[in-house]
């Protein structure tokens, strides 16, 4: 009996020791898992990594690209998923907002369809692949431009402007790049001189617009402003645009284009001024406020901006004007 008891005590002691070892191992493993610095090189907190020398890591370039997107990207109107989202929305306030968005998309669809046709047929932009999306984007390069021809231009006198232009040039449409280069080439001297030169450049663009016979030859800034103004006025010009498209009345569209650009030349001056400010290092707070904005930014439009759908968020691609959200 004593031998059996002794064996049981040994077995119990062995089991207890095994459990203790197991628990210690488990505790140590837990501590290692909680050690966030495990496997990291020593003095990691003291290591400083330089930003890569690309435009996407530079604040001025990002602000400039963002400004061009905000000015040249005209809303993506896509009804995908709206009915399904409305069906399962339990919050009444959000449901009301999404209903307004759905109604806004349906309301603006005819206008955006017409603007899409105008941008392709008359303004010289290529056919987009995704026809369900009503979107127009200016200023940025399309992937189909195999040879954008960014080189062989005379360097700018202003080294700062030259540097900032070089940082973003591969994102820009080749025509806009050349137009912007031509504008920057004319800007020399102090800020007062530059502002006076911007006024002269604006007047030159207006004069070029008034001499136009083909809208595809218009300045990119003027083309963008034309679409902006039509969107801002909502469906006010819808019937006129329908008639122009149906009758293929290019002369009437040119006449409307000239009227819009001439009447809103200050918007061109503000646009160029803001580009120069951003290139000189200003932030968005110092940009010229557009005092001529129409009532497009109403409640419906703000709702649309707030509820951009995830299926469209993945289509952003800076070097493809057909792929912007």
- Give the DSSP letter string of 189-237: SSHHHHHHHHHHHHHHHHHHHHT-S-GGGS-HHHHHHHHHHHHHTGGGG
Residue 288's closest CA among 302, 301, 298, 278? 278
> What is the token pair recorded at 149?
């021809």
37 assigned to some structural domain:
no
User: What is the reported pLDDT for 322?
Assistant: 36
Residue 135 falls in which region: left (phi positive, over 0), alpha (psi -120 to 50) or beta: beta
Average pLDDT value over all residues in the chain: 75
Range with the lowest mean pLDDT among 144-148, 228-232, 242-246?
144-148
User: What is the reported pLDDT for 190?
Assistant: 84
Cα distance between residue 92 and residue 250, in whole Å? 47
> What is the token pair recorded at 61?
């370039």
Give percent of the chain above pLDDT 70.
Answer: 61
275 assigned to some structural domain:
yes
User: What is the reported pLDDT for 33?
Assistant: 56
| Per-residue pLDDT band at 310 (split at 50, 70, 90) | very low
Cα distance between residue 119 and residue 242, in whole Å? 14
Q: Is the pLDDT of residue 4 over 60?
A: no
Cα distance between residue 139 and residue 198, in whole Å? 19
303 assigned to some structural domain:
yes
Cα distance between residue 53 and residue 102, in whole Å? 43
297: helix, strand or coil: coil
Host H or E run for residue 65? helix 59-72
9 assigned to some structural domain:
no
User: What is the reported pLDDT for 156?
Assistant: 85
14 assigned to some structural domain:
no
pLDDT in tens, 168-184: 888 888 889 999 999 99
Q: Which domain holds residue 211?
A: 55-313
16 assigned to some structural domain:
no
pLDDT in tens, 265-294: 999 999 999 999 998 887 777 676 554 444
pTM: 0.72
Go through 199-210 and write b for each residue having 16 or more CB atoms within 10 A of its CB, e for each that does not. Answer: eebbeebbeebe
7 assigned to some structural domain:
no
> What is the token pair recorded at 39?
């496997």
Provide the number of structural domains found in the chain: 1
User: What is the reported pLDDT for 207?
Assistant: 95
20 assigned to some structural domain:
no
């Amino acid at each position: 009996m004593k031998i059996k008891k002794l064996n049981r005590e040994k077995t119990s002691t062995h089991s207890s020791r095994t459990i203790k070892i197991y628990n210690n191992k488990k505790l140590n493993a837990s501590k290692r898992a909680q050690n966030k610095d495990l496997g990291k090189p020593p003095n990691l907190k003291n290591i400083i990594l330089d930003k890569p020398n690309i435009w996407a890591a530079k604040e001025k370039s990002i602000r400039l690209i963002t400004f061009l997107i905000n000015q040249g990207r005209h809303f993506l109107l896509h009804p995908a998923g709206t009915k399904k989202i409305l069906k399962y929305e339990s919050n009444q306030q959000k449901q009301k907002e999404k209903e307004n968005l759905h109604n806004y998309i349906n309301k603006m669809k005819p206008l955006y369809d017409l603007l899409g046709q105008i941008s392709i047929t008359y303004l010289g932009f290529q056919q987009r692949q995704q026809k369900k999306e009503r979107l127009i984007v200016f200023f940025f390069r399309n992937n189909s431009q195999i040879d954008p021809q960014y080189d062989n231009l005379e360097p700018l006198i202003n080294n700062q402007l030259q540097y900032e232009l070089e940082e973003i040039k591969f994102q820009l449409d080749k025509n806009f790049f050349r137009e912007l280069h031509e504008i920057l080439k004319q800007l020399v001297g102090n800020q007062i001189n530059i502002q006076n030169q911007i006024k002269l450049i604006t007047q030159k663009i207006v004069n070029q617009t008034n001499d136009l016979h083909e809208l595809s030859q218009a300045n990119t800034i003027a083309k963008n402003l034309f679409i902006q103004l039509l969107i801002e006025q909502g469906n006010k010009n819808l019937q006129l645009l329908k008639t122009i498209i149906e009758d293929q009345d290019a002369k009437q569209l040119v006449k409307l284009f000239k009227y819009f650009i001439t009447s809103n030349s200050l918007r061109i001056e503000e646009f160029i001024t803001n580009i120069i400010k951003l290139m000189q290092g200003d932030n968005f707070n110092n940009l010229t406020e557009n005092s001529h904005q129409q009532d497009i930014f109403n409640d419906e439009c703000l709702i649309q901006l707030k509820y951009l759908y995830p299926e469209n968020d993945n289509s952003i691609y800076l070097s493809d004007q057909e792929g912007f959200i």
